[in-house]
């Protein structure tokens, strides 16, 4: 079982950036810990599993959605360099919705 980190209650306005910053969603950060935050969205919108949160006075953070209940969600900060790089690559080059099946070639008879 994973131990919960101590959370600090805050009330900070922020923004969630999607599509390389082309789409912006307002949010409120309700609590924060070293590993993540509790966030309330301004609207009930679909989000990808990884995105960027920018809160007033804090540096932007790459986040992964840990849970969601309507407009409230918990996010995990991706602090490890390899997690940040994988998340950045996923944001810049998302996998296709449906990958085509590989073509199977028949063996030639000689």
- Residue-wise pLDDT for 29-65, tens only, equals 999 988 899 999 999 889 988 899 999 888 889 999 9
The answer, yes or no, to whether residue 74 has pLDDT greater than 90, is yes
In a domain, 3, yes or no: no
CATH at 88: 2.40.10.220
In a domain, 102, yes or no: no
In a domain, 103, yes or no: no
Q: Could you tell me if 56 and 12 are in contact, meaning their C-beta atoms sit under 8 angstroms apart? A: yes
In a domain, 104, yes or no: no
Instruction: Tell me the residue range of the domain where 18 lies.
Output: 8-92
- Structurally, how many domains does the chain consist of? 1
Q: What is the pLDDT of residue 1?
A: 42
Stretch among 1-5, 19-23, 85-89 having the lowest mean pLDDT: 1-5
In a domain, 68, yes or no: yes
Task: List C-alpha distances in Å: 56 to 16, 75, 104, 108.
Answer: 12, 17, 53, 64
The answer, yes or no, to whether residue 90 has pLDDT greater than 70, is no
- What is the Cα–Cα distance from 110 to 103, expressed in whole angstroms? 22
Summarize the confidence of residues 76-95 as an average pLDDT: 62
In a domain, 97, yes or no: no
Q: What is the pLDDT of residue 19?
A: 74
Percent of the chain topping pLDDT 70: 65
In a domain, 30, yes or no: yes
pTM: 0.65
């Amino acid at each position: 079982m994973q131990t919960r980190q101590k959370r600090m209650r805050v009330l900070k306005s922020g923004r969630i950036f999607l599509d390389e910053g082309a789409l912006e969603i307002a949010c409120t950060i309700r609590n924060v810990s070293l590993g993540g935050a509790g966030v309330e969205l301004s609207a009930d919108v679909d989000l990808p599993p990884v995105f960027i949160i920018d809160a007033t006075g804090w540096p932007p953070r790459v986040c992964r959605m840990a849970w969601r209940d309507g407009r409230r969600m918990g996010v995990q900060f991706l602090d490890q360099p390899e997690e940040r790089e994988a998340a950045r690559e996923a944001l810049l080059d998302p996998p296709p919705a449906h990958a085509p099946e590989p073509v199977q070639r028949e063996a030639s008879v000689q």
